[in-house]
Amino acid sequence: MQDPALTFGLEPRSEAERAYQTLRREILNGEWIPNERLRPQALQQRFALGLTPIREALMRLAVDGLVLGESQRGFRACGVSSEEWHDLMSARRELERSCLRRAIERGGADWEARITDAMEQLARTPLPRSASDRKAAELWEVRHRNFHFALVSACGSSWRLRFWNTLTDHSERYRKLRLLRRKESAAKVRDAVGDHRAIMEAVLSRDSAQAAKLMDAHLATTEQAIAGLLKLAAEHGGMAAK
């Protein structure tokens, strides 16, 4: 199974697919704040597409859990909550450990090469300097996801990878709230790269226990950081508008 992030930049073949991919990417990239209204007429003008493909895209995104359809009230971007975030990350951490162990057992030389290449791509990608630097945030997120997908891609289970993609989509939606608001020092960026390299080294050494431990700690750090952001936002009346 190919991860959707790996197809970043490819032109969709139909208007409905273009609407779906574009709106999906914007939601995951934080262009639409949680609970923001998604009005078909406004989207029609924004994307220069017809209403039919826009509505088809919104319905598909509702099935994906990224958009909420409300009877007689249209659509809006899904909200966020601490409860959902912790539940989501609990499932993500459990599945990631399982997929990683299976991939270490099954992966070959091509898999190792994919991991190494994805790591080098990520290491060369700078984090966004500000909340307005959305292109940099999108590129970093794509390469970060590509690295994580490369690690689990040899797990040998299309169903596990399907669920991994779903959980990653939703965790990206939360993580982008942090990515676009963080003020990273050079030292923190190096630490982030170091964390990923340590995971890669454990994986390539076929040390399942150490790889799973490092991965879980990596995801737990993200979980705690975003939980803090959600708590702060709740104390100030919700997420700030973009």
Asked if residue 163 is part of any domain, the answer here is yes
CATH code where residue 164 lies: 1.20.120.530
Q: Give me the domain span that covers residue 199.
A: 82-235
Residues 72 and 92 in one domain: no
Query: Tokens in use for 197?
Result: 């390299």
Confidence label for 241 from pLDDT (cuts 50, 70 and 90): very low
| The pLDDT of residue 129 is above 80 | no
The 10s digit of each residue's pLDDT in 177-220 is 766 555 444 434 456 788 999 999 999 999 999 999 999 999 99
How many domains is the chain built from?
2
Residue 241 lies in a domain: no
Per-residue pLDDT at 38 exceeds 70? yes
- Does 153 or 175 have the greater pLDDT score? 153
State both tokens at 132. Answer: 């307005």
Residue 138 pLDDT: 83
- Beta carbons of 188 and 120 less than 8 angstroms apart: no
The band of 152, judged by pLDDT with boundaries at 50, 70 and 90, is very high
142 contact partners, CB below 8 Å, separation of at least 6: 5, 8
Same domain, 123 and 209: yes
Helix axes 109-123, 134-152, angle to 10 degrees: 160
Closest CA to 151 of 193, 114, 191: 114
- Show which of 28, 61, 77 is a domain's final residue: 77
- Single pTM value for the model: 0.81
pLDDT score, position 126: 86
- Could you tell me how far CA 150 lies from the centroid of its own chain? 14
Burial of 1 (0-12, 13-18, 19+ CB in 10 A): middle
Radius of gyration of the chain measured on its C-alpha atoms? 18
58-94: per-residue pLDDT in tens?
A: 999 999 999 998 877 789 999 999 999 999 999 999 9
Contacts of 157 (CB under 8 A, 6+ apart): 99, 102
Measured between alpha carbons, how far is 233 from 119 in angstroms, rounded to an integer?
33
Q: State which of 23, 58, 77 marks the end of a domain.
A: 77
The per-residue pLDDT of the chain, averaged, comes to 86
Domain for residue 240, yes or no? no
